[in-house]
A = this chain, B = another copy of it.
């Protein structure tokens, strides 16, 4: 136990040190689609660490990012309110156990019964597993019909996203009445957890879509991970240690009483045309991103954490940071100060057949890979929608990336021991 406690302390200390470093770079702009919390991956944390499930907020939001995600969206298969509540109670109990490194339910060795856990995580450490639940708009009203008596409880902030320029959302990867974001430092642990939730939902809910992802950071705490475009993705996420920033930008407020202390999740799988990107010259890639590839420094600067200079012009009078560069369009300064908490992962779904829309117009199998963009916010109308509306129209990066699905989910506040996720919404114990 002392090893675990030590590594947590160490992690916290480093986190504070890191936050100080970031404060000095406070005007660095966030890069929307490929961004993640620089504070996040905690290389020194032991895989045996347990992230507490119970608390004021759900874990998996302000929690430093783990190395793997399994995001799953479900549709509720019953129209009975008590069956939905029973499912949420069952899921809560399973999540509380799984995050401790236990099986989803107490195991029985009764040979005449189905095992209550599929077993592939036995012997594996907790691996910093977190489970974050969310409710989609269709849980409240679907096809114009109220469900579960929740019609009056849909938060105003749980908006339907507008159709953004370039959206190519496929139904099979979009929406969902419920979602679960499972994160841990082990792919077998996240797979196992989602498998148990699916199994415990038989009859009450069914899987709608899912997406896995990974995130690899160098072992040095000061190294910013790279996305599949090969660029460093250090960004100005609100710092989890800054309670005012978290309250302003991440946690839901009192506008909807049952959501206070919760957060709104926007999830968007974004395919990247890697083969196209890889054929671009280095200088062009850097113009698109607005940063140098090797150092991560903003164009015209030398250090990764140097502030963006949105006003600087080169000798010819052209902006050093191109008007339509990704990093400029995502800067809070051009978005009325909007900020969101990014918690994205690279994804890799193997190969799929693609007919290229760019020279040399290759047809064949290409990587179905990109970014599982996940962001949490106080209100999507002042968060993702605000930032992405302009980006979807003007970002030079759009010729390489395609949003192919996603959803908006209201993630309720954390669970008190003995309670269940969503209890503040259903109002019954």
Which residues of A are interface residues toward B (Cβ below 8 A)?
47-48, 68, 107-115, 117-125, 186-189, 191, 195, 198-199, 202, 206-212, 214-216, 218-220, 223, 225-231, 274-275, 277-283, 285-286, 293-294, 346, 348-351, 362, 364-367, 369
Contact = CB atoms under 8 A, between A and B. Distances in A.
B111 A366 contact: no
B207 A366 contact: yes
B118 A278 contact: yes
A233 to B, nearest CB: 10
B281 A206 contact: no
Contacts of A214: 187-188
B281 A118 contact: no
Contacts of A125: 218-219
A114 B348 contact: no
A36 to B, nearest CB: 13
A120 B365 contact: no
A227 to B, nearest CB: 7
A371 to B, nearest CB: 12
B195 A216 contact: no
Given A112-B281, A120-B227, A195-B278, 13 more contacts: A111-B282, A119-B231, A120-B226, A122-B226, A124-B216, A124-B218, A188-B215, A188-B216, A191-B346, A199-B275, A206-B364, A211-B350, A349-B350
B206 A365 contact: yes
Given A199-B278, A281-B114, A350 B293 contact: no
A351 B124 contact: no
Contacts of A122: 226, 230, 294
A331 to B, nearest CB: 23
A230 B282 contact: no
Nearest to A118: B230
Contact of A216 (B186, B279, B348): B186
5 contacts: A112-B281, A118-B277, A119-B293, A187-B214, A212-B350
Contacts of A349: 349-350
A277 B119 CA distance: 12
B278 A114 contact: yes
Nearest to A119: B230
A115 B285 contact: yes
Contacts of A210: 350-351, 365
A223 B120 contact: no
A113 B350 contact: no
Lowest 5 CB-CB distances: which A-B pairs, in order? A119-B230, A111-B283, A188-B216, A123-B218, A187-B214
A365 B209 contact: yes
A207 B365 contact: yes
Nearest to A223: B123
Given A195-B274, A274-B118, A365 B282 contact: no
A283 to B, nearest CB: 3
